[in-house]
Structure 1
């Protein structure tokens, strides 16, 4: 069957027939391949690769191919050792007194006394450019692909009638980026390689290698801080330094270096290009210059080891390593019509949005792409995936490309356990442990709490924990206190899925410390325990006299996160057989915390008083935390409150940002609302144009870019991870002693199968279903244990030994 589509590129209308690309298989999504018929002009069209530390953004140009390079450890700043506002805690009694008098304007003003410095900025490493010298060239049959089953990218086309290709991958085993250029031209390869960076750097070229050395600012300010003209402070004797090596191995070519720092490849039909980078970052508490890594020798060692290997050897090791994680989970949601599946991925996404097409393979591809991105961006000890994973091209990226703990950092890891990627969760665990060290000082200096630790809205690679906003930040986003409580719940989550007692023993003090802060931050009001002051992240209320404010007491989100943190700490203590008195204290505290309240509209109240929101459709839904990602609200155990959560979502509607849409998929799934869960999932895959595209047909808002990255907009990776987690929540939900199968299965996915998804209690599930009923079911236990499995209207008890499984259907 032929399929004709029309599209625009550089203002030219292009008609193409899908069968004109015979080298590409028709059903690309079945093979988990993103594919395009032209080079990327914008970041939001480019393909991304990464080995968990180092990554690249691939444009696939034909005159010049550009790779934007990143290293997850390349940040501005130095260890966060200074309390910016040491007497901030003295303002807490004042704020509480103002709130007792219902003076919300005064409380907002006083909150500004409890603010500290901003996070540092994540930095771009630089760009590798490959300029082809046989231009202008006639280009036909262009294809640009990313095979996420193997983590291999490729650009291929006919160049002046001769086959040409470039293969790319980011190797974790060998810690390098690998490129291979191949041509069938009789003249061989004709190209110039160059490296450039926005950071201060020096570049040299010797023999067949480019060497670049540079450094990041020792301090910087965020892009949105308008009163700071010089946002980067540089000193060659301070800050994180880096060295990048780019080596060309082309025995049949002439490789020549130039004083400009460039390399030229001439002749020969194949060239291997290796890229290695190491920074001096040596830990959140180590000065990167005085106590930094020996980055110069380390990068040389990496390059020399990799250069001893052939492309095939490097590729084989890379694929084997990557697939040891990726191949654990398989998902089939149905088959897409071949005429649709053969279209370029961006065209499919656009038609999926505009024509409401059925495309289950695209939906499954998006799920697996989330897993690909997590493997590619979260394998660095103590350094989790940031707001953009690890892919950033700007010196002043949106929101500093930092770790935003009021949702975004946590959402990055919602699928880590359920999608069978627990190893990728480990960097977050180590980072949370780092936060405890700085967070204990923050608790004392900013809140007057002498026991436990806390975290504000933002943090960075240096484990900054203070509330931000020092130059007049609005309390609605600057003065939030519950980051530690929320983040620490990931510790119990990881144990719930892995049943790893040694892990829990190691990280229990961190979870306990977050719970201790919560216990000591609560105060009594009218016989109940509440937080004061508090905010509901980035949202504002309207008082009866019309004041729009942020600072209040007894905010539902604060109390929900406090409950979950305390519950998890108590469970952890019980699992380890320790801290009986601590557990008793938690039990008594939980009984006294202000209960949830249902407002006059039937919604779950966000504020202590039943007040309206400044923006009823606000993107944040933090007060629904107890439903998801928390677990203490549910349709079964708290039906009235679950109904109020549903009413809240109804009021908020479905037009929101990417990460918020990803969250709502999970919330609707927890409500067992399959219709709305699927509707919101489709909304998440709403086509959004590249940010800098100015055409009349530009699309803005939240959704998904042509390269399937999440549109906040601009790009934030959290929506990808939230959507990935949401698919599993529709297919399976679990507690420590129960598993529910197909709890929110959409009608669109009435037939399908999944393999390798993980449930709490340490179980792994494979199942098939038809007409909405499970037809095949296999459950395996990692550590051994008992659980109840509910499916097809019945419940069965399973009791398995470690590494044993049972076929239930």
Structure 2
């Protein structure tokens, strides 16, 4: 533990920027939020809050990233599933694709559980709203604080908010310059079964989530099953501290009344009984009552200023590592509220580099705010969810979405935020071994299907009726395991690699045992390409086939990574030989008659040519075995595939395409898709005639799938760096896909594989200043301005190369 702390202290000595960058780091608005998609989000990595900034009534909704329905995995809902695999393979050998699709239903288990909302704090102001003017609310992502302020009869009123990681509380301060003070009622409610009481100026709430639930799209009358003796329990404390005036406990309705205070401090703490993916949350649960009481006791012993200072210091330790300057926005445009800027940016096509920088840094802000809980990574909505039946259960969808959440963690200098994901993958490898045996008959290694949850569920979903195009996908573990090698490439931490290498190896073992031979080559059978369908020559629209390109692309990357990890650690030589032999026998990529990269074993048409998934391009990004330099023909086929798919797609898919186009070194198209990602989308429940629907960005800059999914934010953030810098184990390429709109700019603190940190400035699309730092020393080739330099570094060395 001490060594890890020292490691990161040394790391950050090289990652803190040398100069101050100007730039707008605020999302700001001139009216309260009416919808979630207008509200501002804060989080400390475990607790999150959604802020509406109301005047008559302020609503703050809360989440805890460990509050889920369900219990540890205990049974196999399809115990004979593995016996069906030979049947499916025989059907595919006979080209009976319809029969294979039908048989796939037999190889399906249960659905994931649902991520749950914690509750809502309501502050109801008892004064009338007459005389209110100059309303503003903002989120400053530079220090992770938010504020609502306005004048009431000429006197300033402010509400300040932040989510503290050091003190594990959410802090709200109300302050009025009016001598009559604040008059308000505070109440806390939860959509989950709960009880409330008030005493000593504190609202205490205890409740529990369902021990089992179904997704919103599953036809079941009873979506949630509750039992007070089962499921995850929680306790929430809301403490009110007044500088002056009075605070009254209203025992009859468990509310607190503020009467005449000019400054009030509200502290919110929560702890759940979740104690790990394999622990019963009641019988083996965390002592959530004592933990939350201890947190509150510590927090109330500190002043507001002390809490705020500790929070900002902790946050900026991570956030300040990277600075980006893409130019200046016109002052008149920059003065507009963020939602109006976004709308203007969409409709008028004018430049707004400040908004583009803000969106990039907002992605980093969201990752810091939602990914700091051991073994519990950011989910489909990060950690911000207000529904007991959220879209897609707000779970871990692993055929792209969970992985996209973490693409920016390495390059944008937030590699620690990937720890929750890595630990989660290790958990999955344990439950995934049983899934490999029970569902697929594979004795070695582990696998994962389409979805997971906080319980590290790995079985294929569907309950014997889910469409195979999404329910029967098998490559979740294959894809996720590649993050282990990626993490190592940014840190060169052999201790980390040694610890998690067995997880990567296990994923590779499953892949090799899952492959079968066809016409002398190795393919997967059965297989699907995530959520897409083909049309056979006789007109059948299906999902199940063999040798799908996405399967084989992910297997290639996983095997390459596992072999490299084995080599670095100096272990498993025979294992590496087996990988090498397997790679040589994999069915190769194919180019279709349209010049596209073929998605299926045969050159079949897609049911939807514009489909949002582009899984068969995995080898280009986030994989590394396809590139314009090493495989130019296949790279051209990838470009043709994207051309056919077009631009109109969902938010997360747009974010992925930014990265793909950047890897193709097409800066103008990558930038075009980045702008497309920042397309204004109306709140989901807004019904006006001017409503904007589809994929893009909501007024609060959260990603519109739609509905809200956070992955597009992270994909867009990653895409910016891919345009500015790309790297491999032995090469760094600067400005590989720079668009004309960013002809001048500078960036500091971005990370390259091999443990390097890059600070650079460019003008007229050429690098004019370059400083590269090395964490642990080594060699690399740096390419910029049409030249290539091979550079050798000592550990901790920083070199000015231009």
Q: For the residues of structure 2 that align with 1:726 and 1:137, how far apart are their CA atoms?
A: 47
- Residue 654 (structure 1) aligns with: 647
The match for 1:114 is 107
Contact 1:406–1:483 (CA under 8 A) maintained in structure 2 = yes
2:790 paired residue among 786, 797, 806: 797
Deviation at 1:29, TM superposition (A): 8.8
| 3-state SS, counterpart of residue 23 of structure 2 | helix
Match of 1:261 in 2: 254
Which residue is 1:247 aligned to? 239
Contact 1:60 1:66 in 2 (8 A): yes
- Which residue number in structure 1 is paired with residue 687 of structure 2? 694
Q: 1:804 deviation in Å?
A: 1.2
Alpha carbons 2:343, 2:680 under 8 Å: kept = yes
Of 210, 213, 219, the residue aligned with 2:212 is 219
Deviates more, 1:158-167 or 1:738-747: 158-167
In structure 1, what is the Cα distance between the partners aligned to 2:782 and 2:681?
40
2:645 and 2:766 mapped to 1: Cα distance? 32
**Equivalences for 1:240-639 in 2 at 5 Å?**
240-259=232-251, 260-639=253-632
Counterparts in 2 of 1:673-712, with a 5 A limit? 673-712=666-705
1:230 correspondence with 2:222? yes
- The aligned runs of 1:167-182 (5 Å cut-off) are 167-182=160-175
Q: Secondary structure at the match of 1:136?
A: coil
Rounded to whole Å, the distance in 1 between the matches of 2:22 and 2:63 is 28
Equivalent residue for 1:777? Answer: 770
Separation in structure 1 between the aligned mates of residue 660 and residue 710 of structure 2, nearest angstrom? 19
Separation (CA, whole Å) in 1 of partners of 2:800 and 2:282:
57
What per-residue deviation string (whole Å, max 9, x for no partner) do you get for residues 740-761 of structure 1?
0000001000000000000000
Question: What's the offset of the Cα at 1:137?
Answer: 3.1
Contact 1:29 1:361 in 2 (8 A): no
1:388, CA displacement in angstroms?
A: 0.2
Measured against aligned partners, the alpha-carbon deviations of 1:671-708 in whole angstroms (never above 9, x if no partner) come to 00011000000000000000000000000000000000
Partner of 1:152: 145
Contact 1:29 1:362 in 2 (8 A): no
Q: Would the aligned equivalents of 1:207 and 1:255 in 2 still touch at CA under 8 Å?
A: no
Partner of 2:6: none
Shift of 1:359: 0.2
* Local SS of the residue matching 2:517: strand
| Structure 1 unaligned residues grouped into runs of 5+ | 1-27
Task: List per-residue Cα deviations over 1:143-176 (Å, max 9, x = no partner).
Answer: 0100000000000001232110000000000000
How many Å separate the matches in 2 of 1:340 and 1:210? 44
Q: 2:158 aligns with which of 151, 154, 165?
A: 165
Q: Quote the Cα distance in structure 2 between the aligned partners of 1:253 and 1:727.
A: 50
Task: Check whether the contact 1:29–1:341 (CA below 8 A) recurs between aligned residues.
Answer: no
CA shift at 1:84, angstroms? 1.2
Query: Alignment partner of 1:267: what SS?
Result: strand
What is the Cα deviation at residue 258 of structure 1? 1.1
Taking only aligned residues, the RMSD between alpha carbons, in angstroms, comes to 0.8
In structure 2, distance between residues paired with 1:786 and 1:232: 56
Matched, 1:737 2:730: yes
- After superposition, what is the alpha-carbon deviation per residue over 1:37-57, rounded to whole angstroms, capped at 9, x for unaligned? 000000000000000000000
Match of 2:90 among 97, 100, 103: 97
User: Is the CA contact (8 Å cut-off) linking 2:775 and 2:796 kept in structure 1?
Assistant: yes
Counting only pairs closer than 5 Å after superposition, residues 189-228 of structure 1 correspond to structure 2 as 189-226=182-219, 228=220
Q: Label 1:471 to 1:197 Cα distance change in 2 as closer, same or farther (>3 A).
A: farther
Contact 2:238 2:269 in 1 (8 A): yes
What is the CA deviation profile of residues 352-396 of structure 1, one whole-angstrom value per residue up to 9, with x for unaligned ones? 000001001100100000000000000000000000000000000
Q: What is the SS of the residue equivalent to 1:158? A: strand
1:264-309 Cα shifts (integer Å, max 9, x gaps): 0111210111000000000000000000000000000000001000
Does residue 60 of the first structure (1) align with residue 53 of the second (2)?
yes
Offset at residue 253 of structure 1 (A): 2.1
Segments of 5+ residues of structure 2 without an aligned counterpart are 1-20
CA–CA separation in structure 2 for the residues paired with 1:669 and 1:81: 44
Partner of 1:756: 749
8 Å Cα contact 2:55/2:129 also seen in 1: no
How many residues matched?
781
Conservation of the 8 A alpha-carbon contact between 2:174 and 2:263: yes
Once residues 92 and 565 of structure 2 are traced to their aligned partners in structure 1, the CA distance between those partners, rounded to angstroms, is 35
Residue deviations 1:696-743, cap 9 Å, x none? Answer: 000000000000000000000000000000000000000001000000
**What per-residue deviation string (whole Å, max 9, x for no partner) do you get for residues 755-794 of structure 1?**
0000000000000000000000000011111100000001
Structure 1 residue 799, shift from structure 2 partner:
1.1
Q: CA shift at 1:800, angstroms?
A: 1.0
What secondary structure sits across from 2:413 in the alignment? coil
Secondary structure of the residue aligned to 2:638 is helix
Distance in 2 separating the partners of 1:707 and 1:152: 15
The secondary structure found in structure 2 opposite 1:30 is coil
1:129 aligns with 122
Q: 1:88 aligns with which of 67, 81, 103?
A: 81
| Alpha-carbon separation, structure 2, partners of 1:771 and 1:139 | 49
Contact 2:65/2:376 (<8 A) preserved: yes
Report the Cα distance in structure 1 between the residues aligned to 2:128 and 2:224, rounded to whole angstroms.
39
Residue 10 of structure 2 corresponds to none
Deviation of 1:140 after TM superposition, in Å, equals: 0.5
Report the Cα offset of residue 212 of structure 1.
0.3
Whether contact under 8 Å (2:106, 2:464) holds in the other structure is no
SS in 2 for 1:572: helix
The 2-side partners of 1:300 and 1:798 are apart by: 55
Q: 2 CA distance for matches of 1:223 and 1:604? A: 35
Cα distance in 1 for residues equivalent to 2:796 and 2:141: 28
Shift of 1:471: 4.4
Taking structure 2 as the reference length, the TM-score comes to 0.97
Partner SS, residue 31 of structure 1: coil
SS across alignment from 2:42: strand
